[in-house]
Amino acid sequence: MELDPHKEITDDQILKYQPLVKNIAYKFINSGEPLEDLEQLGYIGLINALNLYNRQRNVKFETYASWFISGEIRHYIRDKHQTIRIPHWITELNRKIDEFIVKYKEENKQIPSLKKIAQEFNLTEEGVKEVLKARDVVHIVSIDQERRNYDCDDYPILEKIKNNHYRSFKLPVEDLIAVEVAVNKLKIILRKVIEYIFVKDLTQTKAAKKLAISQRQVSRIKNEALKSLKKELEKDIS
């Protein structure tokens, strides 16, 4: 079974090794991750194996594919649980708050109050407090990489982070949070495509290369992801 790495993987090839993916994914059932997500990761590993396999290696394909499938799942679990992940926009907002504090101190010879920070960033004071919580969480993890259980009260409560008043042509922060929450509910493969195309601004061709699938498959997955997001967001509105 020697495959051209530029040839599109067929559904029949995926289905043939579906039992292998499911069997390996089930071994990680105690990781705390949904089995469906583990299987999606396994399929990414399988596709990589199908693309890279060369029978001249004198290794059975099933053995070769098992390395890729379990490796993809292990990397995801390790990366996800290695640290407490803070949403990127909260990290970026904290950076801007730091810049504002430095500038304010230089101009006024004092630290800005919570109220001043809230006014500057159009947030409620309660929202600013939640954003600042992220600093403590990151600090705890940085000094104790082995710590896995932490007080949930230390983590920012996203629902409390709200704009103080509406600004034209700017998406309210609570809407940004709703989108992020909805994205996190998507299957892993859908999340990856959304991240590559809409966050990292990659073309569908480049996203396909990273995921070791065809551009046509990326386009199909993107459309499925957008439909799922629309459905999830409409559910929150109703």
**pLDDT digits over 194-235, tens only?**
888 887 788 888 888 888 788 888 888 888 888 888 887 777
Contact indicator for 187, 215 with CB cutoff of 8 Å: no
pLDDT in tens, 73-130: 888 887 666 445 667 778 788 888 888 888 888 888 888 888 898 888 888 888 888 8
The first and second tokens of residue 6, run together, are: 């530029």
Q: How many domains does the chain have?
A: 3
C-alpha distance from residue 16 to each of 109, 119, 120, 160, 214 (Å): 69, 59, 57, 48, 19
pTM for this model (two decimals)? 0.43
Decide if 108 is inside a domain.
yes
Q: What is the pLDDT of residue 80?
A: 67
The angle subtended at Cα 65 by Cα 64 and Cα 68, nearest 5°, is: 100
Q: What is the pLDDT of residue 69?
A: 92
The whole domain housing 103 covers: 88-165
pLDDT band with cut points at 50, 70 and 90 for residue 6: very low
Decide if 97 is inside a domain.
yes
- The Cβ of residue 73 has, within 10 Å, a number of other Cβ atoms equal to 26
Q: Which among 82, 109, 142 is the end of a domain?
A: 82
Decide if 191 is inside a domain.
yes
Q: Which among 45, 63, 82 is the end of a domain?
A: 82
Decide if 201 is inside a domain.
yes
